[in-house]
């Protein structure tokens, strides 16, 4: 049963907010009393203790903003996306109140399962070692299966009693891919949260830029994007009218430049790789059952988690030495020794990039030991395995999500994917992996200094030779720090 426009207008979060919450950058998020009950719930308040960008604050000092702040920003933008879509009478008449409320709550709660350094931990993929996935924790936290407080109702109970919406619909709109929903209307609103130009990306691009002190993610015209937002002719996803084509191009370019110049900046990748290596060594010393490990992660801030790790590993362990280079007022990050890119004309570099990119974790560790042995023999001193890290950016970022451009009106409406009408976006889609996604070999500062004394170029050629000579077996044994 669809909601009439009058019924839609009764949703207070859309049309009758009672107060606002101020967040950077000069944003006022309209809220209602019942929405504040969700925001004030202890499990949502927990997100105040989780940094949005993990260890990146060690490189960009202002990047200490939280998942809490980001979640409010995504909710605010999702609200604006829906209001823009609801200007179309057909859309307003086809979406149910449940569609709209579930989308608003999904936008607010989409990061509920995050914990400190979640992306670093999830990147480890060590066989036999369970790491909680933040996507899986979302539903368990919402329903009170995990992390609940006996003194409070579950978030699912708050949602069902105050909003009259089955909490399962909120879970589905966050967990399912848009195409997996049965109704086209539900697929449509799901793309407000997950698509090429969704509210999540729109918020983190701007917010991360503000806090990192860069401009790359703020260069698209948000007002123009909202004004040109429309429904695809198929009726099951958001799109952009032709007047917003340039804005959609700029949005795509903003994401490209944020990954190129900020998220995957070489120093950011160094510190992220060091955190991953520290976690790997910590897990080697502490074989926790998944529930215990999950509770450890959910109950601590970023700094508390690092402090816990430092206090529970031997002082001589790789974990202690890695974290000691990042905490306690001491900053001594690993340095680049070799950078591989598919954009280089050197065919050896391209082959080496491909070889490393397709290694599993065990094979990557085996290759790392071979590189340590190569450096040790060349330098005439032992290079400990913990002093070398091979860093490959996340493999789930191998394509640039895009959007369709809609032309014409009424029965004459037609659409085309943005890359098919924009050489700019075509180039970005190609360059994202070819140019932006670099593989790097990082080494501890003393190793870098020794290499420089012998000749950096010669060392790089030796490492390239070792990488090209490596032939991974189908079941390489896992080698740990």
Are 252 and 348 part of one and the same domain? Answer: no
pLDDT in the model for residue 313 = 92
Are 391 and 406 part of one and the same domain? Answer: no
**Lookup: tokens for 389:** 């890290």
Asked if residue 401 lies in contact with residue 228, where contact means CB atoms within 8 angstroms, the answer is no
Residue 312 lies in a domain: no
Asked if residue 319 lies in contact with residue 429, where contact means CB atoms within 8 angstroms, the answer is no
pLDDT in the model for residue 412 = 80
pTM, two decimal places: 0.93
CA angle, 63 then 199 then 124, to 5°: 55
Are 205 and 339 part of one and the same domain? Answer: no
pLDDT in the model for residue 303 = 94
Residue 47 lies in a domain: yes
Are 53 and 137 part of one and the same domain? Answer: yes
Are 375 and 413 part of one and the same domain? Answer: no
Question: Does the bond joining 394 to the residue before it have cis omega, within 30 degrees of 0?
Answer: no
Are 344 and 246 part of one and the same domain? Answer: no
Domain count, the chain: 2
Are 16 and 77 part of one and the same domain? Answer: yes
Are 379 and 474 part of one and the same domain? Answer: yes
Asked if residue 103 lies in contact with residue 189, where contact means CB atoms within 8 angstroms, the answer is yes
pLDDT in the model for residue 480 = 36
DSSP per-residue letters across 28-58? EEEE-HHHHHHHTSHHHHGGGGSBTTGGGGG
Are 41 and 27 part of one and the same domain? Answer: yes
pLDDT in the model for residue 474 = 63
Are 175 and 26 part of one and the same domain? Answer: yes
Residue 135 lies in a domain: yes
Asked if residue 372 lies in contact with residue 466, where contact means CB atoms within 8 angstroms, the answer is no
Residue 269 lies in a domain: no
Q: What span, in angstroms and rounded, lies between the C-alpha atoms of 284 and 479?
A: 11
Residue 410 lies in a domain: yes
Q: What span, in angstroms and rounded, lies between the C-alpha atoms of 200 and 87?
A: 22
Residue 305 lies in a domain: no
Asked if residue 160 lies in contact with residue 35, where contact means CB atoms within 8 angstroms, the answer is no
Asked if residue 429 lies in contact with residue 413, where contact means CB atoms within 8 angstroms, the answer is no
CA 406 to chain centre: 29
**Lookup: tokens for 34:** 């019942």
**Lookup: tokens for 394:** 């996340």
Residue 277 lies in a domain: no
Q: With CA atoms as reference, report the closest residue to 385 among 260, 250, 284, 257.
A: 284
- Tell me the CATH number at 111: 1.10.3210.10
Residue 273 lies in a domain: no
**Lookup: tokens for 249:** 């191009």
Q: Is 80 helix (H, G, I), strand (E, B) or coil?
A: helix
Q: What span, in angstroms and rounded, lies between the C-alpha atoms of 368 and 304?
A: 30
In tens digits, what is the pLDDT along the chain, a chain of 481 residues? 455 556 666 899 999 999 999 999 999 999 999 999 999 999 999 999 999 999 999 999 999 999 999 999 999 999 999 999 999 999 999 999 999 999 999 999 999 999 999 988 887 755 455 678 888 899 999 999 876 666 789 999 999 999 999 999 999 999 999 999 999 999 999 999 999 999 999 999 999 999 999 999 999 999 999 999 999 999 999 999 999 999 999 999 999 999 999 999 999 999 999 999 999 999 887 878 888 889 999 999 999 999 999 999 999 999 999 999 988 777 899 999 999 998 887 899 999 999 999 898 889 999 999 999 999 999 999 999 999 999 998 877 667 788 999 998 877 889 999 999 999 999 988 888 888 899 999 999 999 999 999 999 999 999 999 999 998 876 444 433 3
Are 382 and 420 part of one and the same domain? Answer: no
Q: What span, in angstroms and rounded, lies between the C-alpha atoms of 42 and 460?
A: 51
**Lookup: tokens for 57:** 């604050």
Q: Identify the residue whose tokens are 């007002």.
A: 223
- The whole domain housing 447 covers 334-397+437-481
Helix axes 245-258, 199-212, angle to 10 degrees: 50
Gap between the terminal Cα atoms of the chain? 58
Are 216 and 341 part of one and the same domain? Answer: no
**Lookup: tokens for 319:** 């974990």
pLDDT in the model for residue 342 = 87
Q: Is 410 left (phi over 0), alpha (psi -120 to 50) or beta?
A: left
């Amino acid at each position: 049963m669809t909601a009439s426009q009058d019924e839609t207008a009764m949703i207070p979060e859309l049309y009758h907010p009672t107060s606002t919450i101020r967040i950077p950058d000069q944003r006022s998020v309209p809220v209602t009393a019942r929405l504040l009950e969700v925001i004030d719930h202890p499990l949502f308040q927990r997100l105040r203790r989780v940094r949005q960008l993990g260890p990146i604050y060690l490189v960009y000092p202002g990047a200490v903003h939280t998942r809490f702040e980001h979640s409010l920003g995504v909710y605010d933008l999702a609200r604006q996306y829906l209001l823009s879509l609801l200007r179309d009478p057909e859309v307003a008449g086809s979406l149910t109140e449940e569609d709209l409320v579930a989308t608003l709550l999904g936008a607010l709660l989409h990061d509920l399962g995050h914990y400190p350094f979640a992306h670093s931990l999830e990147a480890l993929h060590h066989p036999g070692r369970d790491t909680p996935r933040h996507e899986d924790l979302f539903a368990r936290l919402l329903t009170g299966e995990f992390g609940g407080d006996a003194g409070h109702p579950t978030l699912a109970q708050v949602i069902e009693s105050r909003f009259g919406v089955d909490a399962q619909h909120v879970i589905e709109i966050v967990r399912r891919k848009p195409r997996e929903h049965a109704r086209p209307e539900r697929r449509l609103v799901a793309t407000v949260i997950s698509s090429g130009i969704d509210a999540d990306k729109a918020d983190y691009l701007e917010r991360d830029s503000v806090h990192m002190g860069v401009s790359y993610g703020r260069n698209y015209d948000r007002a123009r994007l909202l004004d040109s937002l429309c429904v695809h002719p198929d009726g099951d996803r958001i799109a952009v009218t032709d007047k917003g084509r340039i804005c959609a191009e700029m949005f795509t370019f903003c994401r490209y430049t944020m990954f190129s110049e900020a998220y995957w900046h070489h120093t950011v990748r160094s510190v992220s790789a060091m955190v991953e290596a520290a976690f790997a060594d910590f897990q080697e010393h502490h074989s926790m059952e998944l529930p215990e490990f999950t509770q450890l992660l959910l109950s601590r801030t970023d700094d508390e988690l690092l402090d816990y790790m430092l206090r529970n590993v031997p002082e001589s362990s790789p974990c202690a030495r890695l974290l000691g280079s990042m905490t306690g007022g001491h900053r001594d990050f690993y340095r680049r020794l070799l950078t591989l890119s598919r954009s280089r004309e050197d065919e050896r570099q391209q082959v080496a990039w491909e070889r490393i990119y397709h290694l599993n974790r065990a094979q990557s560790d085996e290759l790392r030991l071979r590189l340590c042995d190569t450096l040790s023999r060349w330098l005439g001193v032992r290079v400990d395995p913990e002093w070398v890290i091979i860093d490959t950016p996340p493999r789930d970022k191998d394509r640039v999500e895009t959007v369709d451009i809609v032309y014409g009106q009424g029965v004459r409406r037609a659409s085309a994917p943005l890359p098919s009408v924009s050489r700019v976006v075509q180039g970005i889609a190609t360059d994202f992996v070819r140019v932006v996604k670099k593989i790097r070999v990082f080494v501890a500062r003393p190793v870098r200094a020794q290499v420089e004394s012998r000749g950096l170029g010669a060392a790089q050629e030796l490492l390239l030779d070792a990488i090209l000579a490596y032939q991974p077996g189908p079941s390489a044994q896992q080698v740990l720090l």
